[in-house]
Structures are given as C-alpha cells and as structure tokens.
C-alpha cells in the first residue's frame, strides 16, 4: 500500500527571524514511516522542520508552514491508500507578517492571530474520499473525551490520542502511550513503550483496517 504520513511541527512566521511553533520532534511520524517501509510499503513523508534523518526509500517532502503542509498533503492524498496525519500543525498564525524584524520596545506588544487551515478536517470532509484517514490528538486533559469528539468532528476513520501533559512521554520524548479510537466505537490501548515499538503496532492496525475497508468496498461494488 501507499501511505502518506505527516510529521513534525510547522513554523508560522512573525517576522524574518521569529515564528510560532510547538514542541513536536517528529519522532512518532518518522517512526511510523520507518515501520511501514520495513513492511515494504510505499511512503510519502511530508515533514515539518525536524532534526531527524529521513528514512531511506521514502519520498520526503520538506515544508515549513501550515499552508505549505496543507498544499503538499492535498497534492498527494488522493494517490494514497492511507493518510496518517501525525504532524503537530499550528492552530494559529500571525494575521500580519512583518517584512522586517520587529524591534523590542518598552511598551506591551500584541500579536494578532488567525486560524490556520485545518488539514485533517479538509480531508475528512472531502467528497468521495477513497483513502483511510488517520488523525492524531495530542491532549493535556480529558484525553479520551477530546479524542472521540475530534474523531467525529473531523470525520476520520481512526484517531490516535496521547497525553502530552508530562515531560516523560509524547512530544520530544522517545517513548509514548496511545489510545486508538475507531469510527465504529471500538477502542484499543497501547501501553507506554518506545515510539518505534508503538509505530510497528500502529502500522499493523492501520493496514488491517484499510484492508478490511477496501475488501468491503470491493464486495459492495461486485
């Protein structure tokens, strides 16, 4: 199968030297890409700025901003069987980007923000979508409730949720623990483990779900 995977953060510029970003390291997305490659699947990895070696044999597309990631995802999504949106895309960007460095002042400074385009929502509500859509939910509270709500709101097939409130798991860490929510109401937990181990389990789950989904569609068509 062909998988599109997004990974890492985005950087939303404020001026030529400053930007809005987050703590995402890209490790989970890259681990998923490596696990899928190990099973001989084709990978398109759309990556924000990270300090990681690109996985061999993957088609890697480097982006910086949420708009760049939006355009790249929509360019390749329909060519793929599974889209795994693991990247931590900024929710907001500067309403106005200064062409010159903003100087420090003694007075208070307010930065106007506007929402970025929602990549997951745009794919989830795409007409005649033929690919399996997997989203990620990084939460600090009410993890299960928020993830289940996101699954429904974004019209995903699967949501992978993790608690990022602590410093010892999730963002920037080499370990993680996740809860996988399925559109049929099922739920599966993967206990705390290295991200590479979790990635292998996730790939198995995604591929099994996709195979069953495509088999069902073929039966309906025939």
Q: Copy the structure tokens of residue 27.
A: 């490790």
- What are the DSSP calls for 131-174, one per residue? SEEEEEEEESSSHHHHHHHHHHHHT-SEEEEEE-SSSSSSTT-S
What are the domain boundaries of the chain? 2-91+112-221
- Listed in order, strand segments (DSSP E) in the chain are 2-7, 12-13, 19-20, 42-47, 59-62, 82-85, 92-94, 113-115, 132-139, 158-163, 175-182, 187-194
Q: How much helix, strand and coil, in percent to the nearest 5, is found in the chain?
A: 30, 30, 40
And the tokens for 66?
A: 């949420």
CATH superfamily of 2-91+112-221: CoaB-like (3.40.50.10300)
Residues serving a catalytic function are 22
Enter the DSSP assignment of 206: H
d(CA 51, CA 167): 19
pLDDT at 217 over 90: no
Question: pTM of the full predicted structure?
Answer: 0.94
Range 205-216 average pLDDT: 92
Contact 34, 196 (CB under 8 A): yes
Q: Who has greater pLDDT, 26 or 167?
A: 26
pLDDT at 222 over 50: no
Question: 185: helix, coil or strand?
Answer: coil
Residue 154 has pLDDT above 80, yes or no: yes
- Note the pLDDT tens digit of each residue in 74-128: 999 999 999 999 999 999 999 999 999 999 988 999 999 999 999 999 999 999 9
Rounded CA separation 200/81 (Å): 18
Confidence class for position 165, pLDDT limits 50, 70, 90: confident
Question: How does residue 57 score in pLDDT terms, banded at 50, 70 and 90?
Answer: very high
Mean pLDDT value of segment 18-41: 96
Note the pLDDT tens digit of each residue in 172-193.
789 999 999 999 999 999 999 9
Sign of CA dihedral 120, 29, 130, 80: positive
């Amino acid at each position: 199968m062909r998988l599109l995977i997004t990974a890492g953060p985005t950087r939303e510029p404020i001026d030529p030297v400053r930007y809005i970003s987050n703590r995402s390291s890209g490790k989970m997305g890259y681990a998923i890409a490596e696990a899928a490659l190990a099973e001989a699947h084709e990978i398109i990895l759309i990556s924000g700025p990270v300090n990681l070696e690109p996985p061999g044999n993957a088609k890697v597309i480097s982006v910086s901003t949420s708009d760049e990631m939006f355009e790249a995802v929509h360019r390749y999504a329909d060519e793929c069987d599974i889209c795994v949106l693991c990247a931590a895309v900024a929710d907001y960007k500067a309403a106005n980007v200064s062409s010159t460095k903003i100087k420090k002042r003694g007075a208070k400074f307010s930065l106007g923000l506007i929402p970025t385009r929602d990549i997951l929502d745009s794919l989830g509500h795409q007409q005649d979508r033929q690919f399996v859509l997997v989203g990620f939910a990084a939460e600090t509270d009410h993890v299960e409730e928020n993830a289940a709500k996101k699954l429904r709101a974004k019209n995903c097939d699967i949501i992978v949720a993790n608690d990022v409130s602590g410093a010892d798991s999730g963002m920037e860490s080499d370990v993680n623990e996740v809860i996988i929510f399925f559109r049929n109401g099922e739920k599966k937990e993967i206990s705390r483990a290295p991200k590479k181990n979790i990635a292998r389990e996730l790939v198995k789950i995604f591929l099994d779900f996709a195979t069953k989904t495509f088999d069902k569609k073929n039966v309906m068509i025939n």
